[in-house]
Amino acid sequence: MSIKTCSTAIVMFLLLACPVAQAGKLAIVIDDFGYRPATENQVLAMPVNVSIAVLPDAPYAREMALKAHRQRREILIHLPMAPLSKQPLERNTLTPAMSRDQVSDIIQQATQKVPYAVGLNNHMGSAMTSSLSGMQHVMQALSHYSYYFLDSVTIGNSQAVPASAGTGVRVLKRQVFLDDTANEADIRHQFNRAVALARRNGFAIAIGHPHPATVRVLQQMLPSLPGDIVLVRPSMLLNERPTIAPAASPVAKPTPARPHPFRGVPYCSSRQAPTPVYADAMLGAIASSVADTWRIILRGERPPAAEKPTAGKPAGQ
């Protein structure tokens, strides 16, 4: 191997050893499918990795699920669950007071109304998802269908994760709601927030709705998605874990040291900033050193050995 080839190989090794940033993964789910074919068809014209969640008892539920399946788009059952607030409820809304059999029957019916679903997420549901026993009924029913559960996180103390223990059902969590308001500037801000979270944590899940303002923002922003962000289906995140570093533990205040009588030696400060050393200069120095070493080896020379000092006499005297 020539000196030049060896030096090049070492430089390439150093470059390849540097960590390469991976793309952040962003999943977008559009809820409430089955009521608004006009805007829902606009969503189905978006990239196929934009997933949909279909309300089982909506008038166009089956039609939209079949259309999405033909596109090979990921489909979730958007199952109504009881909220804490008093408001009109969808038919077959799950409540914490329901028995395990009642919950199982409603989910079984939903699987027939929304064909080809691979997951399920909650429509509203603050009362239901905060009930451990209620969510245990849900997870036991889901375990028979190999569905994952996407927690819309409509309440902070959701019991979805503890309820899934021992069932084999895997749980994902929503990070961002795109359209808490119908203001396009707000929706754009939330979209950018989801992108930032995907970049920081490695992935993010955003949920939106087929509102005209949401559709317009997605039509504008999806084509210009940053190069370090990739659009994925929720099921592609089931094995993901956040890459964000854990918070450092608090550091105790150091005990003040006693003053030392020695004040040190005065020195002259430089008036000029030190010259910066760039990566190419460092790699060049490494390559030059390697080349010198090989030159000595190929000529059969040995590097000069350091003189051993005579016993009892300092070296150089």
The string of pLDDT tens digits covering residues 23-34 is 899 999 999 999
Residue 139 counted as domain residue: yes
Residue 86 counted as domain residue: yes
Positive or negative, the CA dihedral 228, 31, 140, 174 is positive
Number of domains forming the structure of the chain: 1
Residue 36 counted as domain residue: yes
Q: Does residue 262 register a pLDDT over 90?
A: no
Residue 263 counted as domain residue: no
Region of poorest pLDDT, from 127-131, 200-204, 266-270, 278-282: 266-270
Residue 258 counted as domain residue: no
Give the residue numbers spanning the domain of 166.
24-237
Residue 135 sits in a domain whose CATH number is 3.20.20.370
Q: Does residue 98 register a pLDDT over 90?
A: yes
Reported as half-sphere exposure (CB side, CA atoms, 13 A), residue 241 has a value of 2
pTM for the full predicted model: 0.72
Task: Identify the residue with better confidence: 302 or 141.
Answer: 141
Question: Cβ(139)–Cβ(133) under 8 Å?
Answer: no
> In the structure, what pLDDT confidence band is assigned to residue 240 with cuts at 50, 70 and 90?
confident
Residue 5 counted as domain residue: no
Q: Does residue 59 register a pLDDT over 70?
A: yes
Residue 10 counted as domain residue: no
Whole-angstrom CA distances from 207 to 16, 101, 199, 225 are 38, 30, 17, 17
Residue 317 counted as domain residue: no
Show the tokens assigned to 263: 């004040």
Question: Cβ(63)–Cβ(36) under 8 Å?
Answer: no
Taking residues 14-37, what's their average pLDDT? 79
